[in-house]
Copies of this chain bind each other. A is one copy, B any other.
Amino acid sequence: MSPSKPADGQPRGYIIPIGGAEKVQEPAILKRFVRLCGGRHARIAIVPTASLMSDTGSVYEELFDELGAGSAQAFALEERADGSDAETLRKLERATGVFFTGGNQLRLSTHLGGTPVAKTIRILNARGVHVAGTSAGAAFLSEHMIAFGDEGASPRVGSVTLSAGLGLTNRVIIDQHFRQRDRLGRLLTALAYNPFAVGLGLDEDTAAFIAPDETVEVVGSGAVTIVDPSDVEFSSMDQSAKGEPVCLLGIRMHILVQGATFNLHTRVADPGSVAVAKG
């Protein structure tokens, strides 16, 4: 389930994990998403599957409507069978953006994983359609998804359970409500299993806009914590017992705020417009 290959010469769409609780009064993140998807020409498909509340889909339909999206439609997708529905697939094909709501990310992976709907969204993103998700919806976007885990600042063996996600990218592992729920430890634990991916810890009301060129741009009122394990010199993950803290040496970390960027390919952080504002 590696990411779908972009069509020749065609950049993939943005991948946009949001840390949850994106502000409705001053919705900078959702506004930018709508603009990216075409503004008045945007056709946004909403997937409320993570949520157990029956009105989540319609709440976002109204919200995107108020933000000037051409159209916004929620697809119930409550059973696995819905993931093969021909009418849904036909409508999805026309979307310029896909939005996953919050809730429980395991509902997303168990209900949609491996269905034609999931496959279609992967192909759409490869073709240039933008895909955003908030909270549980954010966690689901990447190849390796944090299914659930403990909270607390130090990494401990067994403190996190990974699962296969939607797989739009395998370069990041995403955690959300980051500052608000103290999740550095579980993100470090997830990375310690295999220090291949970069950890993105998203504060609430904060999004990482991952551009087609692999540049992460921050939008929102909080911070994105980048945890880059590429220089990790030592990890005791393979020898520690369950519940024991993990020894992990040589982590690189950046705290990005709105305007700053990080390139997932070169692994270089840049203050961007934060430094310009300083001048």
Contact = CB atoms under 8 A, between A and B. Distances in A.
Interface of A: 151-155, 178-180, 182-185, 188, 201, 203, 221-223, 225, 233-234, 236, 238-240, 244-257, 259-260, 269-271, 274-275, 277-278
8 contacts: A152-B179, A153-B183, A154-B178, A223-B246, A234-B274, A236-B274, A248-B255, A251-B255
Contact of A179 (B154, B260, B275): B154
A275 B238 CA distance: 11
Contacts of A152: 179-180, 182
The 5 closest A-B pairs by CB, nearest first: A182-B182, A223-B245, A154-B223, A154-B179, A249-B269
A245 B271 contact: no
A112 B228 CA distance: 42
Question: Can you tell how many copies of this chain the complex includes?
Answer: 2
Most buried by B among A153, A244, A271: A153
Given A182-B182, A253-B253, 13 more contacts: A154-B178, A154-B225, A155-B223, A239-B278, A244-B257, A245-B255, A246-B255, A247-B255, A247-B257, A247-B271, A247-B274, A249-B269, A251-B254
Given A153-B183, A179-B152, A201-B153, A249 B271 contact: yes
A178 B182 CA distance: 11
Contacts of A269: 233-234, 249-250
A131 B256 CA distance: 38
A252 B255 contact: no
A234 to B, nearest CB: 4
